[in-house]
Amino acid sequence: MTRESSLVLFSGGQDSTVCLVWALQRFERVETVGFDYGQRHRVELIQRLKVRERLVSEFPQLADRLGEDHVLDLSALGTISDTALTREREIDFAANGLPSTFVPGRNLVFLTFSAALAYRRGLSRLVGGMCETDFSGYPDCRRNTIDAMEQALRLGLERATPIETPLMSLTKAATWRLADDLGGAALVQLIVEETHTCYLGDRGRLHAWGYGCGVCPACELRSRGWDEFISGRPA
């Protein structure tokens, strides 16, 4: 454990919840930031608070390190993007191969606002759940994009703001395994019950892997990773 602090980009999904616990085990002070950008799955803004509450009550050894939560209004991003995450629109693929769930500039904007917030709060680094392994084809989740952002922030803020991406090279199954390593069955259960991944915001039915419609690309990735995780787990 270092004495450093961090700001976790925390959407309330599976990946950012694993990142939050990862950060709590490493850094003395951890704050969280979420973004309201008019996403269709706004339910994640409610779930992220439930995740924080359960982490505090079920992992008291980490609770002291968990500091303030921040929610930033980025509704302008929703108004300028015509995507399946921000409009009633089919999830499909554009001619350039990118899915219609891709919100152009989203991670770049999130990282810039997060760095500005970390600057004000005196937090030394950012932690994000970007992943280029099992990702949905989002170019702003690649490590080379993140490296370029780090450099832009270092130049623009005249201060280094390292961006930790602990899930970058993990498959979804490996992310479930990491949750198991970090917090055992209790953390896995918390993630199943409280984190939100489904693009359509569906929380009507609890599957073994969590709530969701079961058919959108986010549910599909999450459930496939879960199956792989479970089949590799010692009985």
- Annotate each residue in 111-150 with x if it binds Zn ion (CB under 5 A) or - if it does not, as one string: ----------------------------------------
* Size of site (CB under 5 A) for Zn ion: 6
Tokens encoding 12: 């309330």
Residue 212 within binding range of Zn ion, rule CB under 5 A: yes
Long-range contacts of the stretch 225-234 (C-beta < 8 A, 24+): 225/134, 225/171, 225/172, 225/173, 225/175, 225/176, 226/172, 226/173, 226/176, 228/171, 228/172, 228/173, 229/172, 229/173, 229/176, 229/177, 229/180, 232/173, 232/177, 233/180
Among 149, 163, 190, 198, binds Zn ion (CB under 5 A): 198
45/213 with CB nearer Zn ion: 213
Among 213, 224, 227, 228, binds Zn ion (CB under 5 A): 213
182/200 with CB nearer Zn ion: 200
Residue 170 within binding range of Zn ion, rule CB under 5 A: no
Among 125, 209, 216, 222, binds Zn ion (CB under 5 A): 216
Tokens encoding 223: 């459930």
Residue 77 within binding range of Zn ion, rule CB under 5 A: no
Residue 210 within binding range of Zn ion, rule CB under 5 A: no
Residue 91 within binding range of Zn ion, rule CB under 5 A: no
Residue 219 within binding range of Zn ion, rule CB under 5 A: yes
Residue 71 within binding range of Zn ion, rule CB under 5 A: no
Return phi, psi of residue 166, to 5°. -65, -15
CB 218 to Zn ion: min, Å? 6
141/216 with CB nearer Zn ion: 216
Mark the segment that binds Zn ion (CB under 5 A) among 4-12, 104-112, 120-128, 207-215.
Answer: 207-215
8/198 with CB nearer Zn ion: 198
Q: Rounded distance, CA 40 to CA 20, Å?
A: 23
| Those residues with Cβ within 8 angstroms of residue 17's Cβ, 6 or more apart along the chain or in another chain | 10, 51, 179, 190, 191, 194, 195
108/213 with CB nearer Zn ion: 213
Residues that bind Zn ion (CB under 5 A): 198, 200, 212-213, 216, 219
